[in-house]
Structure 1
Amino acid sequence: MATSRALRYLESGKNLAGSACGVAGVGLALAGAAGAYWPLVVAGLYGAGALIAPPERVAPPAVPDPAERLGVVREDLGRLREYLAEVELPRAAGEALAGLLELYAALLDPRWAAEVLAADPEAVHALSRAVRTDVPECVDTYHRTRWWTRLSPGGESPERHLERQLAVLVAEAERVTADLHEMEVRRQQTHTTYLEDRGRS
């Protein structure tokens, strides 16, 4: 770590500027202008050069391209489908989940909605969270709770909880869809206004 920092400093603009000023100090010493204190002059010029040099710019972390992020979510959706194909669900929940997955797939379709989706980071986050966390957690907790309910029956059924959870996720996906649709409507209206204004000018 220390060696790495030392190497980075040797290559830094501060060291290069300080070295250039230090070389100028050596030149003054050779010309006899620095006198007996030439080491202090060289060191002082090096320090001054290092101080006035602009600080090193640290590159910001690379942010994935929106299309690339959606590609990852699309792959996650494929893995989610494979997982769900192996689990047993009540009919009503299974139908609701199938519709939800179709809606997710439509939102991630690279030919249509994905371009609009990529422009809305909050929508991308909501969809990613649903595919990676929410749906798998709903199904897994349903199966775990159903097993315990067989040992200790009573209370609201796991099936009912699953249906309630999926209803919330469906409503969330429908809100995202409505918001993206509204974005496209506004975009069309804006273009209409632009063309009409251009036609009048």
Structure 2
Amino acid sequence: MATNKNPLRYLESRKNLTGSACGLVGLALTFAGVAGPYWPVVVAGLYGAGALIAPPERPPLPDFPDPSAQLDELRGDFGRLREYLDGVELPPAAAGRLTELTELLTALLDPGWVAEVLAQDPEGVHALSRAVRQDIPEAVDTFVRTRWWTRLTPGTEPPERHLERQLTLLHEEGDRLAAALREVEARRQESHTRYLEDRGRSR
């Protein structure tokens, strides 16, 4: 029978507690005269059987931050992203697309009831986190790098076209997230309407 490597932890384990309870049953049988001269074997056997049938110890789950805490961290990262973007010079069209995107993200991340709805959507939180921490910085940084090389090799495709397309796709992704959150609120409203209607009919 396998035992815990830490003796103190094993003493408090389910296996030991269950085995001890079964062992006490064996002692009771001994005092009742049922076990006879073989009482040590009976007690040990019942202890072992109890330890075997006891459910295994379940380690505690990792304490991951909940979506609300993740949003708080994401707001801080978004603030740092905006500081970075303020120092990057972009063409007017791309700058306009970026402004529209950051305004949408600001509205979604702004503390309040919208963020409360968002916190209940882990996939939505993940999508925003990916946009803030990966997609937008990568899009802008690759544009800055490619623009430098384009100046050395004129006649190639302007890098701002890719940047504008990337920002447009990210904005569309944000729009879909906003629409999904609106749908959640719409279903909640419809559910409350049905509840009131059903309550009225039951009177």
Q: Name the TM-score, length of structure 2 as normaliser.
A: 0.82
Equivalent residue number for residue 131 of structure 2: 130
Equivalent residue number for residue 181 of structure 2: 180
The structure-2 alpha-carbon separation of the partners of 1:43 and 1:97, relative to structure 1 and needing over 3 Å to count, comes to same
Q: Structure 1 residue 101: deviation in Å?
A: 0.9
Distance 1:29 1:106 in 2: 74
Equivalent residue number for residue 71 of structure 2: 70
Structure 1 residue identity aligned to 2:44? A
Structure 2 residue identity aligned to 1:58? P
Distance 1:169 1:78 in 2: 18
The structure-2 alpha-carbon separation of the partners of 1:189 and 1:36, relative to structure 1 and needing over 3 Å to count, comes to closer
Q: Name the TM-score, length of structure 1 as normaliser.
A: 0.83
1:191 has 2:192 as partner: yes
Instruction: Give ranges in structure 2 of 5+ residues lacking alignment.
Output: none
Structure 2 residue identity aligned to 1:43? A
1:31-110 to 2 correspondence within 5 Å? 40-110=41-111
The structure-2 alpha-carbon separation of the partners of 1:19 and 1:153, relative to structure 1 and needing over 3 Å to count, comes to farther
What count of residue pairs does the alignment treat as equivalent?
200
CA-to-aligned-CA distance 1:54-105 (integer Å, 9 cap, x gap): 3223333334322222212111111111111222222221221122111111
1:17-28 to 2 correspondence within 5 Å? 17-22=18-23
Distance 1:123 1:75 in 2: 17
Distance 1:136 1:3 in 2: 49
Equivalent residue number for residue 117 of structure 1: 118
Identity %: 67
Distance 2:150 2:174 in 1: 30
Distance 1:36 1:62 in 2: 52
Q: Structure 1 residue 198: deviation in Å?
A: 2.0
CA-to-aligned-CA distance 1:139-158 (integer Å, 9 cap, x gap): 11111222222333443221
Equivalent residue number for residue 141 of structure 2: 140
User: Aligned to 2:87, what secondary structure does the other structure show?
Assistant: coil
Report if the CA contact (8 A) 2:23-2:44 is conserved.
yes
User: Which range moved further: 24-33 or 131-140?
Assistant: 24-33
Q: Structure 1 residue 106: deviation in Å?
A: 0.5
Distance 1:180 1:70 in 2: 15
